């Protein structure tokens, strides 16, 4: 699991129609944040619908190491007894956050303005990912970071004893960096300001307000200017974690390409900072009905009725949409392979520093499945072969990346010949019930 354990080869094959209800687990971003914010509140936060994937379990373990009491009461039902802003104790051992960039970066921000020292490590995938993007702004607060060359884990953060507030314009569109700066700002006196040119997922802002922080967002010519007043006492909350739109993407995309499918995916977030994939699929001609719009766990959601869509067309995905669908490009590129014409995805170089280099991983795997692709540093172009047109018959390398594994397993459900992945074990990090849920819909997915 998370690249630590044995590789688990998996395979999928052309399946009959997918039918039924796909109830996907809780949102990964909101799950991490509910544990972290709960640990910074004074009193007991109650969480329902928590994603019990390995990434989130690793964050729960880290919160315990900082002194919070984190307890599981039943499936998805957890409580966190927090230690208050600035109340983190020094962990007695190295923190292993597994595969999770979100865990590593948000937790670094959280402890960076408390006078304690913590050392972070992770699996082989996380140890390749750049941390300078968070340690640069954290050093402005007065924290120090000692990592490997290129700002890689393992890395020790020495928290600032006398933090100062920071004004920081994000150089990359990254909710993780934005959140790390806001979390550090919580224990700095005065106002910390983060400016983002392109809006990224806004769960930290929404949830911090819910936990009682003073935070406001102004839309200006520079972008979103987020101002946070430091050193609040955070109030514990009751958090109902909504379902994860990034996990919902897999059954949705599978139903679109498997002939005769008709499924219902309840409670998919319509948050404008997360719904880019769904806008794109509709533009491609996907048959998706957005039913019963409502609010759940503070997020706008709808139930998605998704039918096989044999006439999807490739499109040019607007680059400015990238932050709202950043995790969905791998599975979109699979749908693109089953559409007619080419799908052009530009402005996506951030994909190169995810759990794997996702442009490279998708390009190589699709090529192996017989699909023509073009790529450059910032772009992926997929030449669609139409419904049922993808040859398949390949084994694709997942590079310890859950979304690459799930994307190719989705591909195999509609390709002419089975598609295998060398290692499906990373799926545990974000979507532990993927295999059972997909099989329940009629997907032919097997191990080995």
Per CB under 6 A, residues contacting ligand S3P are 29, 102, 174-176, 179, 201, 326-327, 350
Of the residues 327, 357, 360, 376, only one is catalytic, namely: 327
Q: Which helix (H) or strand (E) holds 176?
A: helix 175-186
Q: How far is the CB of 350 from ligand S3P (least distance, A)?
A: 6
Respond yes or no: is residue 423 known to be catalytic.
Answer: no
Which residue is nearest to ligand S3P, using beta carbons?
Answer: 29
Q: Report the interhelical angle of 175-186 vs 101-111 (nearest 10°).
A: 20
**Which of 174/398 has CB closer to ligand S3P?**
174
Residues in Cβ contact with 186 at an 8 Å cutoff, skipping those fewer than 6 apart = 40, 85, 110, 113, 208, 213, 228, 230, 231, 232, 234
Q: How far is the CB of 298 from ligand S3P (least distance, A)?
A: 15
Distances (CA, A) of 19 to 230, 417, 444: 50, 22, 13
Task: Answer whether 227's CB lies under 8 Å from 166's CB.
Answer: no
Residue of 90, 95, 247 lying closest to 158 (CA atoms): 90
**Which of 29/125 has CB closer to ligand S3P?**
29
Task: Answer whether 445's CB lies under 8 Å from 409's CB.
Answer: yes
Q: How far is the CB of 433 from ligand S3P (least distance, A)?
A: 18
**Which of 355/435 has CB closer to ligand S3P?**
355
| Dihedral sign, Cα of residue 31, residue 33, residue 36, residue 42 | negative
Decide: residue 115, CB within 10 A, 0-12 exposed, 13-18 middle, 19+ buried. Answer: middle
Q: 154 preceded by cis ω (within 30°)?
A: yes
Q: How far is the CB of 317 from ligand S3P (least distance, A)?
A: 16
**Which of 200/261 has CB closer to ligand S3P?**
200
Task: Answer whether 44's CB lies under 8 Å from 80's CB.
Answer: yes
Chain center to CA of 182:
18
**Which of 103/424 has CB closer to ligand S3P?**
103
Q: How far is the CB of 178 from ligand S3P (least distance, A)?
A: 7
**Which of 176/271 has CB closer to ligand S3P?**
176
Residues in Cβ contact with 57 at an 8 Å cutoff, skipping those fewer than 6 apart = none
Q: How far is the CB of 318 from ligand S3P (least distance, A)?
A: 17
Residue of 12, 41, 9, 51 lying closest to 247 (CA atoms): 51
Q: How many CB atoms within 10 Å of residue 376? A: 10
**Which of 201/399 has CB closer to ligand S3P?**
201
**258/410 Cα distance (integer angstroms):** 9
Q: How far is the CB of 203 from ligand S3P (least distance, A)?
A: 7
341 SS3 class: strand
Decide: residue 319, CB within 10 A, 0-12 exposed, 13-18 middle, 19+ buried. Answer: middle
Q: How far is the CB of 252 from ligand S3P (least distance, A)?
A: 17
346 SS3 class: strand
**Which of 330/424 has CB closer to ligand S3P?**
330
Which DSSP string corresponds to 398-415?
A: -TT-HHHHHHHHHHHTTS
**Which of 51/411 has CB closer to ligand S3P?**
51
Decide: residue 377, CB within 10 A, 0-12 exposed, 13-18 middle, 19+ buried. Answer: exposed
Q: How far is the CB of 326 from ligand S3P (least distance, A)?
A: 5
Q: How many CB atoms within 10 Å of residue 227? A: 17
The DSSP letter of residue 93 is S
Q: Which residues are catalytic?
A: 327
């Amino acid at each position: 699991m998370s690249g630590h354990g044995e590789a688990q080869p998996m395979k999928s094959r052309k399946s009959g129609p997918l039918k039924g209800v796909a109830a996907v687990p809780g949102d990964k971003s909101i799950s991490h944040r509910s544990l972290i914010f709960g640990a910074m509140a004074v009193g007991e936060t109650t969480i329902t619908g928590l994603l019990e994937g390995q990434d989130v379990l690793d964050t729960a373990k880290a919160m315990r190491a900082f002194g919070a009491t984190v307890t599981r009461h039943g499936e998805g039902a957890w409580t966190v007894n927090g230690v208050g802003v600035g109340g983190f104790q020094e962990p007695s051992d190295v923190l292993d956050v597994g595969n999770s960039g979100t865990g590593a970066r948000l937790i670094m921000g959280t402890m960076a303005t408390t006078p304690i020292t913590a050392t972070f490590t992770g699996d082989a995938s996380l140890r390749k990912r750049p941390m300078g993007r968070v340690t640069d702004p954290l050093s402005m607060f007065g924290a120090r970071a000692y990592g490997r060359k290129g700002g890689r884990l393992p890395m020790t953060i020495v928290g600032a004893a006398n933090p100062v507030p920071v004004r920081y314009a994000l150089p990359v569109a990254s909710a993780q960096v934005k959140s790390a700066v806001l979390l550090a700002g919580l224990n700095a006196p005065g106002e910390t300001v983060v400016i983002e040119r392109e809006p990224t997922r806004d769960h930290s802002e929404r949830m911090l307000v819910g936990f009682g922080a003073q935070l406001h967002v102004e839309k200006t010519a520079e972008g979103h200017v987020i101002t946070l007043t430091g050193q609040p006492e955070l109030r514990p909350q009751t958090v109902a974690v909504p379902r994860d739109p990034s996990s919902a993407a897999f059954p949705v995309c599978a139903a679109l390409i498997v002939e005769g499918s008709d499924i219902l995916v309840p409670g998919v977030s319509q948050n404008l900072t997360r719904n880019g994939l769904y806008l794109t699929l509709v533009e491609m001609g996907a048959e998706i009905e957005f039913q019963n719009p409502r609010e759940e766990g503070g997020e706008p959601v709808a139930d998605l009725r998704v039918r096989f869509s044999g006439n999807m067309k490739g499109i040019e995905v607007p680059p400015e949409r990238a932050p709202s669908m950043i995790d969905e490009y791998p599975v979109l590129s699979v749908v693109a392979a089953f559409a007619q014409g080419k799908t052009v995805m530009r402005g996506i170089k951030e994909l190169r520093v995810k759990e794997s280099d996702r442009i490279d991983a998708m390009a190589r795997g699709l090529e192996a499945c017989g699909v023509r692709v073009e790529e450059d540093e910032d772009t992926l172009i997929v030449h669609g072969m139409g419904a049922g047109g993808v040859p398949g018959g390949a084994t694709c390398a997942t590079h310890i990346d859950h979304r690459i594994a799930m994307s190719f397993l989705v591909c195999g459900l509609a390709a002419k010949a089975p598609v295998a992945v060398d290692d499906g074990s990373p799926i545990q990090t974000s979507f532990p019930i993927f295999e059972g849920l997909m099989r329940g819909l009629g997907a032919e997915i097997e191990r080995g």
